[in-house]
Chain A
């Protein structure tokens, strides 16, 4: 089962704290390798909280852990904290403004129970070497 949602990114306090503690550490993955979904979207997806999901847009794909929205409700909107996981799928087009379109990327979310959430260094390294599954 897959759902379509509108993806936005941004800061969270956990993202900030874990980033300063070291982006190579598991806490950073726990804080940012997630997608926050509204309960209604969880129902549509038919998944439990804490399930790994694959998020795919026209621009890329990434595996993150689905968690319930901490600042909701926001049905139809999904939130990945700013970081390398979000940046695998955001719309990179700047439309001649210099600014990539970090907010408002249509994405598909599907359950990917058996796929791992990579840590930040692995994610960019494998991405650069073309070693990521898609």
Chain B
């Protein structure tokens, strides 16, 4: 027999859907079916059931093979590399719960680590821009209930946030938006005619890397000033048309993604995007929101915000918190050989950092805490498999609009597996023993 667990939170992307239904065996040990989730989310739940899953820590041998070790040995190894390092890097944090993040923060304090999260390769530049100019934003329900102008800039939710458009942005019928998508106008700015662009009223195929110019052109167009014939490859008539479409809306929302945060210009692109939003508030109501990737990268920025005052790239190595992107960010530290041990948790820099950074991790004492086998576990000295947060253990996560939701445990982890939180708590205890405090 089986039973259905409802209102389950999907631990994949920042959309943080909370209407998933999962069918589990009566004893809560097997997960059979996943309903309502997108293809990626469903796969995430189902992968926890993989037969070939690694369930015990393992250590890389000199000959390159793995040797199974106990959790106690893994705890000791982790504590020792952190204690012995002058400036360890503790990276990741985005696919685990806030409870684990809070303990990790305390470990960082105790050993004097640099803590950084996946925003560093995602929306870190957005966070810098917010520090420059602020951010007028809203919750996703405001979009659903009010927005009649939707602008996706440099993001492709059809692929990266598959249920975003149906739950929040384009299609849902809300309080003041009872006609759903028929009463909304959608603009997509992207150098490719993406699957998201296919559902747009206007697609502006911007020349790659020229987003800043196009944002500025919008600001010019709002004021009715003169534009050159083409800006960033877009004819001025189309820019005026899109600008007018935005100004004539009652509630404008701009969603933006890696297209602007990772292209040259970086944080300055986002400055310009936010300035566009500020300008629009002279004419109507407008808000802007980063399309956060990992389901709890936002939470990690919140936890460090209240504990340290900075959302990412926090250097605790001097005994107090410092923040200076470009200096205290993970890739810069790795590439400049400024860290001497690496702990990776709940993320995969092995797959998602430029290879020159990955090679540095390989050269250092390193541990990867991750339920999956990944390119990161492949280059680290120790791999600690843990329970899946949001599947096998609950805990707090923050959606892309910073709304916190408590994720649910739906099945038991394999026997004897630790959670991130338990493992880190034990590491912290061991560190205090080693330090004699």
Q: Do A and B touch (CB < 8 Å)?
A: yes
Chain A residues in contact with chain B, CB under 8 A? 6, 8, 10-13, 15-17, 19-24, 59-60, 69, 71-74, 77, 79, 82-84, 87-88, 90-92, 94-104, 120-121, 123-125, 127-128
9 contacts between A and B (CB under 8 A): A17-B39, A23-B373, A59-B354, A87-B354, A97-B326, A98-B128, A98-B326, A103-B258, A121-B373
The reply to whether B375 and A103 contact each other, CB–CB distance below 8 Å, is no
The reply to whether B209 and A104 contact each other, CB–CB distance below 8 Å, is yes
Q: How far is the CB of B214 from chain A (nearest CB, A)?
A: 15
Given contacts A11-B156, A13-B159, A124-B375, contact A98 B125 (CB under 8 A): yes
Write out the residue numbers on chain A whose beta carbons fall within 8 Å of the beta carbon of B264. 95, 101, 104
Write out the residue numbers on chain A whose beta carbons fall within 8 Å of the beta carbon of B379. 124-125, 128
Write out the residue numbers on chain A whose beta carbons fall within 8 Å of the beta carbon of B354. 59, 87, 90-92, 100, 102
The reply to whether B350 and A84 contact each other, CB–CB distance below 8 Å, is yes
B331 within 8 A of A: yes
Write out the residue numbers on chain B whose beta carbons fall within 8 Å of the beta carbon of A120. 351, 374-375, 378
The reply to whether A71 and B329 contact each other, CB–CB distance below 8 Å, is no
Chain B residues in contact with chain A, CB under 8 A? 12, 38-40, 43-44, 46-47, 50, 120-121, 124-125, 128, 156, 158-160, 162, 191-195, 197, 205, 208-209, 258-259, 261-264, 266-267, 313, 325-332, 335, 348, 350-359, 362-363, 372-375, 378-379
The 7 A-B residue pairs whose C-beta atoms are closest, nearest first, are: A98-B329, A96-B326, A92-B354, A16-B40, A128-B362, A98-B325, A11-B160
Write out the residue numbers on chain B whose beta carbons fall within 8 Å of the beta carbon of A59. 354, 356
Q: How far is the CB of A127 from chain B (nearest CB, A)?
A: 6
Residue of B nearest to A97 (CB): B266
Residue of B nearest to A16 (CB): B40
Write out the residue numbers on chain B whose beta carbons fall within 8 Å of the beta carbon of A6. 208-209
Partner of A95, one of B39, B128, B266: B266
Q: How far is the CB of A133 from chain B (nearest CB, A)?
A: 15
The reply to whether B358 and A87 contact each other, CB–CB distance below 8 Å, is yes
The reply to whether B124 and A97 contact each other, CB–CB distance below 8 Å, is yes
Query: CA of A8 to CA of B261 in the docked complex: distance in angstroms?
Result: 13
The reply to whether B258 and A87 contact each other, CB–CB distance below 8 Å, is no
Apart from A22-B372, A87-B351, 17 more pairs, CB < 8 Å: A10-B259, A13-B38, A20-B43, A23-B348, A23-B373, A23-B375, A74-B191, A83-B351, A90-B354, A98-B128, A98-B325, A98-B326, A98-B328, A100-B353, A102-B258, A124-B350, A125-B378
